[in-house]
Amino acid sequence: MTKLPQKSRGWLFAVPVVMILWVIGHFSGDIQLKHKSASTQSARPSSTTPPPTSSKPAPSAPPTLDWRAEAPPYPSDVLVRAYQSVCQGHPVRSAARYTGRQHPIVVVGGELGGWEDEIFAAEPAGYPWPPEMKPTTVASVQLVACVSTSHVADPSCGYYTRESDGVSGELRRSHGVARMRMVVAGTAALIWEKTFVAEPPYCNSVTNAEKGPPPWTMKGDPPAFVQATSPDPSEYVRRFTTGPPRAPIAHG
């Protein structure tokens, strides 16, 4: 029997080993590909699986303000709390946009702070207020009428003697001043402002109405535009309830 050289015998053993390793590697790779394909398919949503549903409840409608409420919370209190910061320059981002031709208004401060009382006093007297001055929801408000009132001293009436006890003292007097600013609720932009001045009170003799020690001070009535029984209550608020939006102006 012819013996093969040492080098040839090495090749005879090497070739089968290489083939066996190739077969094992190919088989292993095929298994990995099949496993990857199966994993990918299992990760895909089934065409019969229904889409996920949201667990969030549907948004509810905003509560309606009842302008005939006979117990708290009263509409004006709710609205003033929601929008009083606008008068200090802080916009309410949840307010309605200042657009369209109807502009619901909130009145903050001054004699009209609780303006449903003014409405009830005016409407029976034949001076109905427009619906825009009675917003039905907090979020519907577009404008805020910021009213501030004060009294300014007038020349003294001189010295008088109180009839009840003969006490003498100076009788001072002052007249009412009101400033109104119309401000956009959502931006705090000023679109109009005006100062109203009332007539000073007349000097008269001191009666028992003047209490306490002198000097006594008579305060005049506020300007007519904040009186419910004036011919056109809040005329300067009414004019902003309808019409095209106005452009902002510079603060005075």
- What's the rounded Cα separation, in Å, for the pair 198 and 46? 79
Comparison of pLDDT for 88 and 63, the residue scoring more: 88
pLDDT greater than 60 at residue 46: no
**Domain assignment present for 37:** no
**Domain assignment present for 248:** no
- What's the rounded Cα separation, in Å, for the pair 129 and 122? 8
**Domain assignment present for 252:** no
Residue carrying structure tokens 């990918």: 40
Give me the number of domains the chain comprises. 1
Strands 105-108 and 190-197 turn out to be unpaired
**Domain assignment present for 104:** yes
Closest CA to 248 of 209, 192, 203: 192
Report helix, strand or coil for 11.
helix
Compute the average pLDDT of residues 6-16: 49
Q: What pLDDT digit, counting tens, does each position of 152-177 carry? A: 899 998 888 888 888 888 988 888 88
**Domain assignment present for 47:** no
Domain of 119 in residue numbering reads as: 75-150+176-197+224-238
Closest CA to 181 of 246, 95, 102: 246
pLDDT greater than 80 at residue 182: yes
pTM over 0.85: no
Beta bridge partners of 176: 151
Residue carrying structure tokens 């200090």: 88
**Domain assignment present for 234:** yes
pLDDT greater than 70 at residue 20: no
- Mean pLDDT of all residues belonging to the chain: 74
Comparison of pLDDT for 60 and 114, the residue scoring more: 60
**Domain assignment present for 164:** no
Q: What pLDDT digit, counting tens, does each position of 76-91 carry? A: 888 989 999 999 999 9
Phi-psi region of 109 (alpha: psi -120 to 50; beta: other; left: phi over 0): left
Amino acid present at 95: A
**Domain assignment present for 159:** no
- Categorize the per-residue pLDDT at 191 as very low, low, confident or very high, splitting at 50, 70 and 90: very high
